[in-house]
Chains A and B, each alone.
Chain A
Amino acid sequence: MLRFILRRLLIIIPMALLVVTLTWGLIRLAPGNFYSGEKKLPAAVEAAIRKKYGLDEPWYKQYGMMMANVVRGDFGDSLKYPGQSVNEIIRRHLPYSATIGILAYFLALFVGMLAGTYAALKQNSVFDFGPMALAMLGLSIPNFVIAPVLVILFAFWLYVFPPARWGGASSLVLPVVTLAAVYAAYIARLTRAGMLEVLRSDFVRTARAKGLDDRTVLFRHAFRGGILPVVSFTGPALAALLAGTVVVEKVFALPGLGDIFIKAVLNRDEPLVLGIVAFLSILIMVFNLIVDVSYGFLDPRIRYE
């Protein structure tokens, strides 16, 4: 088990470097530069900039220099915000994204598992079709539609939550709900399917035959097996959630990492893009590892090697 974790942690480093390399390649292949704007720069100025940032060197030398820094965890300074290191920018903007991300994550898990379990227990009744229809809706409506609808409803009509920007707990509600909606829907469907399968299983019948009450049957015997599909979904869910924050932060004008990331890409702010990509890829891989390990705690049949 420990060896499994260690090996997986070790793999993360080369994987992250690979992701950085690919991202770097994509940035370089894409047309345009961080310094090219609307109008063309004088040739001398352009040459000076290219020299300053080492862009006149052959590509493999540039790549080597970039990698040498990245390996040491140093992404250098942002090109757009000179004097600010990439690490510092990430540190400053991460809390916003992390807050809504984590809140949305738990909200989605809670609502999704509750609705899914309930629907499974009341299979083919109103309490099944109702939440499931809602889930279907949640799945088919994209974030950028849900957000304005919620804003119009709760901010402009009911005046309960602010429409945008960061400012205390109430400003979190709409972004978190928007972000959570799709995942809650997905988790509800996964939970329902998982629970239905387990509730039909022989060992749940055995538990009933033993005279256990419904609660014990549900929570002690059925729940673990029923939520396994949800657990394996939580890894990919995090990745998708991160992508979701990009949209949500844009819509609600929150100064999170997603917002910074979009700007960095549009600005061709290469160090910042690489830094955020490396950070997110490591985050996702660590999280997937956590998910795999917790899977093993839930299902004793799984053995790590």
Chain B
Amino acid sequence: MSGTAETIISVEKLKTYFDTEDGRVMAVDDVTFELKKGETLGIVGESGSGKSVTNLSILRLIPEPPGKIAAGKIIFDGDDLLQLSVEELRKVRGKRIAMVFQDPMTSLNPFLKISTQLTEVTRLHLGHTHGEAREHAIKMLKLVGIPDAEVRIDGYPHELSGGMRQRVMIAMALSCDPELLIADEPTTALDVTIQAQILELIKDLKARMGTSVILITHDLGVVAGMTDHVIVMYAGKIFERARTADLFSRPGNPYTRGLLRSVPDPEHERGEPLYQIPGLPPDLADPPPGCPFAPRCDRTEDICRTEFPPFVELHSGHHSLCHFAREVWEESLQTAGVDRRELEDIRSVDG
């Protein structure tokens, strides 16, 4: 599935682990996906499922030790990023692939002026002079909707609100016009009202600049209106992969179904607790035999506890990691599926 002309990045059989006191944690285990130019891929999953590690592995930003990218290929524009020299990799980082991180409070350097943090990227990658870089930085700040950009640029991150800081992060990430933007839970740390604005901004800029986007989130609701494809991760593995519309209308995995049920819907009574998948994700240092989701799954059978499930292709481009993938998929048609349009309504109500 790699190598077609319009594929911007393809991740193949990626394995990344961490050596911890409890033993070796397989944070990302055999993850494969690809992204076409100009498209947006959503990666969803509960916290700890390996979403961030997957994407940090792409730019080799895993702290080593304790981490290690043990296997796999990450093909970007014909090169395997995992094989590049550090110098070559640095020319990709920030220039061709840029990242926006979850917490804008801690992801900007509190000791440096915003101007320094913005201009250093374009001076490095685009060879801007001091003056050009500053002009460009102000332009970017305006683009992401920072009022008084000419003044703000000389301030420090702590003088801005969380939402404004995330805008600065986005301005910084997009300042070299990257081919791929990876946004790792860009709204998780923000107020609900700001979340929608930031998502709207990413969507808008993506359309304007033609950037391909990987959007990581633990909230399926976010994915609905933003992405073309979705992969659902659990315990370092891809549990389901599908076109966004298919995933919402006809999930083929009990885990995805659980995630869908935990998205708040408009008719949801205030104060009534949201659905939560029972139990906790497995200890990745000592995963249970069989399917890692089996202890929490609502349709577990004996085989789930003993045998690792197959990655079943349900139809073209729709895969599910489950012993009963097809059955779940069939069931979904009648029951649990949520209409995509319905979910977009949910999002607009949220915002």
Q: Is A58 an interface residue (CB 8 A)?
A: no
A203-221 to B contact mask, C-beta < 8 Å, 1/0: 1011111111100100011
| Given A208-B93, A210-B94, A211-B92: A300 touches B61 (CB 8 Å cut-off) | no
| Given A200-B63, A202-B107, A300-B158: A209 touches B112 (CB 8 Å cut-off) | no
Contacts of B116 in A (CB 8 A): 220
B-side interface residues, number (CB < 8 Å): 31
Partner of B99, one of A209, A220, A225: A209
In the assembled complex, the Cα of A213 lies from the Cα of B61 at a distance in Å of: 13
In the assembled complex, the Cα of A300 lies from the Cα of B112 at a distance in Å of: 8
Contacts of B103 in A (CB 8 A): 202
Q: Is A40 an interface residue (CB 8 A)?
A: no
Q: Is A52 an interface residue (CB 8 A)?
A: no
Contacts of A203 in B (CB 8 A): 106-110
Q: Is A298 an interface residue (CB 8 A)?
A: yes
Contacts of B158 in A (CB 8 A): 300-301
- Which label, helix, strand, loop or mixed, suits the secondary structure of the A interface? helix
User: What interface size band does chain A fall in?
Assistant: 20 to 34
In the assembled complex, the Cα of A138 lies from the Cα of B158 at a distance in Å of: 39
A44-60 to B contact mask, C-beta < 8 Å, 1/0: 00000000000000000
In the assembled complex, the Cα of A209 lies from the Cα of B109 at a distance in Å of: 13
Contacts of B203 in A (CB 8 A): none
A3 nearest CB across to chain B (Å): 21
| Given A202-B103, A300-B156: A209 touches B61 (CB 8 Å cut-off) | yes
Contacts of A124 in B (CB 8 A): 65
Contacts of A80 in B (CB 8 A): none
B110 touches A299 (CB 8 A): yes
B120 touches A210 (CB 8 A): yes
In the assembled complex, the Cα of A205 lies from the Cα of B59 at a distance in Å of: 11
In the assembled complex, the Cα of A208 lies from the Cα of B91 at a distance in Å of: 11
In the assembled complex, the Cα of A124 lies from the Cα of B116 at a distance in Å of: 32
8 further contact pairs, Cβ within 8 A, besides A124-B65, A209-B99: A201-B106, A210-B120, A211-B125, A212-B124, A224-B111, A225-B110, A225-B111, A300-B158
Q: List 27 A-B contacts (CB under 8 A).
A: A200-B63, A202-B101, A202-B107, A203-B108, A203-B109, A206-B107, A206-B169, A207-B109, A209-B61, A209-B93, A210-B93, A210-B121, A210-B172, A211-B93, A211-B94, A212-B90, A212-B120, A220-B112, A220-B116, A220-B120, A221-B111, A221-B112, A225-B111, A299-B111, A300-B158, A301-B156, A301-B158
